[in-house]
Structure 1
Amino acid sequence: MATIKPYETASGKRYRVRYRKPDGSQTDKRGFKTKKEAELFLASTTVSKATGDYVDPKLGRITIGHLGPEWLAGKKTVVKPSQYASLDSSWRTHVDPKWGSREISGIKQSEVQTWVAALRGKRSATVVLRAHGILAGILDAAVQDRRLSRNPARGVQLPRKGKSSKTYLSHAQVAALATETKQHATLIYVLAYTGLRWGEATGLRVKHVNQLARRLSVEENAVWVGNKVHVGTPKTHERRSVPYPKFLVSGIADLMDGKPADALLFGTGTDGYLRPPHPSHSWLAKACRDICARHQKQIEDGAKDVILMPAVTPHELRHTAASLAISSGANVKAVQRMLGHASAAMTLDTYADLFDDDLDGVAKRLDKAARKARKAS
């Protein structure tokens, strides 16, 4: 039988509710300032027990610091090593210091909102969204385990990630970059004309090349996390076959010459993977700077039609591949398959700016068809 009893404290009268949990054991909840508050709590508890939604308050006394490592351990088996490294770093840097000592039942939505706003004032939207996602994920698990009735991290206002600008190289710029990088020329061409990610390209082995069909079989992805390389499946876990242009036949053949089937196409032996070039100090960055300096000198000397070279990363060569493919007339589905995107919608969302010119073409074709129909009538 549930009861509501008053008791005295230094701050005045308070009320305590004593009731039985679904397992029959007795417990109580104290600290209500008015009898009405106590009655409302008792009523809601009675309903939750009847509907099977009851959450034992004692289970909510566990801390985020206790649940966090368990949640991260679960993620380690289902996400890529690079993604796990980002989650682990965000947990240690942003989530654990702020929430680690807090009991989950005491966390309020307003507190989470304040934390998100404060973090946004110092960090990028990507960092904020990742940190919030970790906290929300931990609390989601707590709700599923019946430690909480609701997740206070859900429903807060979150920042939006702005779309970053992309760099697209022309055919001439790609050729200039390949020439400047010398021994990496074929790698530059493969990145810029097949759209492979760096890890996919550097994970290619001799056996993945079909010279007759001019196809690259993308089956492995070599991703560096710190000083260790993790080799797994491609990003979407889907293997794909990507064609390469005829002009690359001799360059790829040269790289294959004398190598066993399991040897890396780019790299040494079977495990000598190339590290991704650093944005500011690497062979790729130096090549971009040297081309830019040389062309700038040509401009100063009065030369015309000089093609300038922006600083690029391997991923921008992937963007370039999409741009060159679309400008050559490739449709969305073809570009999706080439890049290994999960859907055509993702390709359109990522490269919507490259399809803008198609709108003019559509309008012209519609105008031509309408004029023809009007003349016929």
Structure 2
Amino acid sequence: MAYVRDLWTVVGPMGRRVRSARWGQGRRWQAVWVENGKTITKMFDNADAANLYVSRTKVGQAEGTWITKDRLDVTLGDMWGVWIASKTGRAASTVAGYRAAWRHIEPTWQYAPCWKITRAAFSTWIPTITRLDGTGSALSGASLRKIGIVFHALLDQAVELGIITKNPMRSSDIPRQGKSDRRYLTVAEIDRLVQAAPTDAAALMISVLVQTGLRPGEAKGLQVRDLDVLRGRLMIRRDVDALGNPDETKTRTHRDVPVGGDLLLDLEDIADGHAPADWLLTDEYGHVWTTTRWRTVWKTACASAGLTGVTTYELRHTAASLAIAAGADVKTVQRMLGHASAAMTLDTYTHLWETGIDAIPYAVAEHMAAERKREADKATRRAKRRGRGLRIVDG
């Protein structure tokens, strides 16, 4: 039940409304409705506004779209605390990415009531975000996309908790990450890079990355027991963070990656005599690789090999390109790289499979030439038969 109450008048003896003790004091019109068994009120200066609000209340409650008063003050910051707490099982690097995104969202939206957030407000704000280092530099497409994903997820949670009735954002509002120019090393460049590695440990790490497609953290996190020599497999069970601390894999899933040839023999040699829990790929001092140590080694190797602008992650892209060139199908490459789906693999590397269309013109030309030769041979046979006076049967 919802109605409007006039606080400046009361019903008199003759049934007529007369001035009350509150006449002329405060707002006159009071909207009254019931939420969760409790009477809720809201004051207005004029009757039209109060009646309009009551009408909206009735329609909203009937359609299930009404936001109760106890939830009007719930902010996006309230949603963040609950949402990030639910991500404790994720990889540390993933959670760190969420927190980095929230640091951009927090200054503007922390105290914004969820029900007041609009799609237009988000779309207007997202292009204005800059780096937090004070330079005013624009963020990368990947960072903007992560911010959009977190923002959308917080509003989704608000819907799940009944704070708002629907998410004002659409999936299409999340910024798209532009296609980056990937570099695929040639075999000659790979050989130069391995030979230029300052230590044998660094050379082995490069070889593993470029032949298996592992993420750098996954390769650093390999233990001796993760090498299955008989099957020729590396079992990916963990990651390590920038400081070399063990962590879950990026996708929180495990997989086996094939390894063979000289690389398998090299891995078997370094694993020999070590305990199962020892690190398989270490730096020259036998320690787990840290990002700081690897960055120094990588920079030295690239400089000596004459390679500029190459990141470690491009060894993973190169591994994918080599597998595809060797005839691997999309499902095999997906499993090797640990992508969540084959669609993701196709979206990333579909242009490499497209090289197959290059063979079509040659195949068509060969087919047409073969058909011409077949027709010419048939005509020659017919001519020979006529010359011998033989009866020729069509077909």
Report the TM-score range of the alignment, normalised by the length of the smaller protein.
0.7 to 0.9
Give the structure 2 partner of residue 276 of structure 1. 291
1:84 maps to 2:95? yes
| Cα distance, 1:340–1:365 mapped onto 2, change above 3 Å | farther
Deviation at 1:193, TM superposition (A): 0.8
1:367 positional shift: 5.2
Question: 1:76-106 CA deviation, whole Å, 9 max, x = no partner?
Answer: 33x2211111111222x21221112233333
* Alpha-carbon contact 1:113-1:156 (below 8 Å) kept: no
What is the match of residue 223 of structure 1? Answer: 241
Change (3 A) 1:53 1:89: same
Alignment gaps of 5+ in structure 1: 293-308
Counterpart in the other structure of 1:197 = 215
Map 1:61-210 to 2 at 5 A. 61-77=73-89, 79-91=90-102, 93-119=103-129, 122-154=138-170, 157-181=173-197, 182-183=199-200, 184-210=202-228
Q: C-alpha separation between the residues in 1 aligned to 2:251 and 2:158?
A: 29
Pairwise CA distance, 1:31: 4.2
Distance 1:334 1:133 in 2: 29
Are the counterparts in 2 of residues 64 and 100 from structure 1 also a CA contact under 8 Å?
yes
Bigger-Rg structure (1/2) = 2
Cα distance in 1, alignment partners of residues 45 and 141 from structure 2: 40
CA contact (8 A) 1:202 1:266 kept: yes
Q: Show CA shifts across 1:103-126 (max 9, x none).
A: 333334332222112127832232
CA distance in 2, matches of 1:174, 1:228: 26
- Deviation of 1:277 (Å): 5.6
Query: Partner letter of residue 144 of structure 1?
Result: E
CA distance in 1, matches of 2:205, 2:254: 20
Instruction: Choose 257-266 or 213-222, whichever is displaced more.
Output: 213-222
Specify the alignment match of 1:302 in structure 2.
none
1:327 and 2:341 matched: no
Which AA in structure 2 matches 1:229?
N
User: Partner of 1:314: helix, strand, or coil?
Assistant: coil
- Whole-Å Cα distance in 2 between the matches of residues 282 and 338 of structure 1? 28
User: SS at the partner of 1:282?
Assistant: helix
Does the C-alpha gap of structure 1 residues 360 and 70 become closer, same or farther in structure 2, counting only changes over 3 Å?
same
> How many angstroms does 1:7 deviate by?
8.0
Find the aligned partners of 1:126 and 1:6 in 2 and give their Cα distance: 56
For residues 34 and 125 of structure 1, the distance between their equivalents in structure 2, rounded to whole angstroms, comes to 50
How far apart, CA to CA, are the structure 1 residues paired with 2:122 and 2:93? 27
1:220-246 CA distance string (max 9 Å, x none): 22233xx462322x3333332222231
Q: Secondary structure at the match of 2:32?
A: strand
The CA deviation at 1:67 is 3.1
Question: What is the correspondence of 1:287-366 to structure 2 with a 5 Å cutoff?
Answer: 287-292=301-306, 309-366=307-364
Given that 2:92 and 2:247 are in contact with CA atoms closer than 8 Å, whether structure 1 keeps it comes out as: no
| Matched-pair contact (CA < 8 Å) for 1:112–1:156 | no
Q: CA deviation at 1:56?
A: 0.4
Q: Name which of structure 1's ranges 40-49 and 159-168 shifts more when overlaid on structure 2.
A: 40-49
Secondary structure at 1:28's aligned position in 2? strand
Q: 1:373 to 1:258 in 2, by over 3 A?
A: same
Query: 1:245 is matched by which residue type in structure 2?
Result: G
- Cross-structure match for 2:4: 4
- Superposed CA deviations along residues 313-370 of structure 1, whole A, max 9, x for unmatched, are 2211111111112222222222222222223222221112222321112444355456
Matches within 5 A, 1:234-249: 234-249=249-264
What is the CA–CA distance in structure 1 between the aligned matches of 2:67 and 2:106, rounded to whole Å?
25
Q: How far, CA to CA, are the matches of 1:209 and 1:155 in structure 2?
A: 41
- Other-structure match for 1:250: 265
**TM-score, L = length of structure 1:** 0.80
Q: CA deviation at 1:274?
A: 0.9
Residue range with higher mean Cα deviation, 133-142 or 317-326: 133-142
SS of 2:211's partner is: helix
Shift of 1:161: 1.1
SS of the counterpart of 1:188?
helix
Q: Secondary structure at the match of 1:345?
A: helix
CA distance 1:95–1:252, shift in 2 (3 Å) = same
Identity percentage over the alignment?
Answer: 31
Give secondary structure in 2 for the equivalent of 1:26: strand
- What's the RMSD between the two structures over aligned residues? 3.2
| Structure 1 residue 278, shift from structure 2 partner | 7.2
**How many Å separate the matches in 1 of 2:149 and 2:343?**
24
C-alpha change, 1:110 and 1:3, in structure 2 (3 Å) is same
Question: Which stretch shows the higher mean deviation, 331-340 or 48-57?
Answer: 48-57
Query: Which residue does 2:37 correspond to in 1?
Result: 24
Distance 1:272 1:60, change over 3 A: farther
Q: What is the TM-score with the length of structure 2 in the denominator? A: 0.77
CA gap 1:189/1:197 in 2 versus in 1, 3 angstroms: same
* Cα contact 1:325–1:335 (8 A) shared by 2: yes
CA contact (8 A) 2:220 2:288 kept: yes
| CA distance in 1: counterparts of 2:204 and 2:62, whole angstroms | 69
Q: State whether residues 209 and 219 of structure 2, in contact with CA within 8 Å, keep that contact through their aligned partners in structure 1.
A: yes
Contact preservation (8 Å) 1:168, 1:316: yes
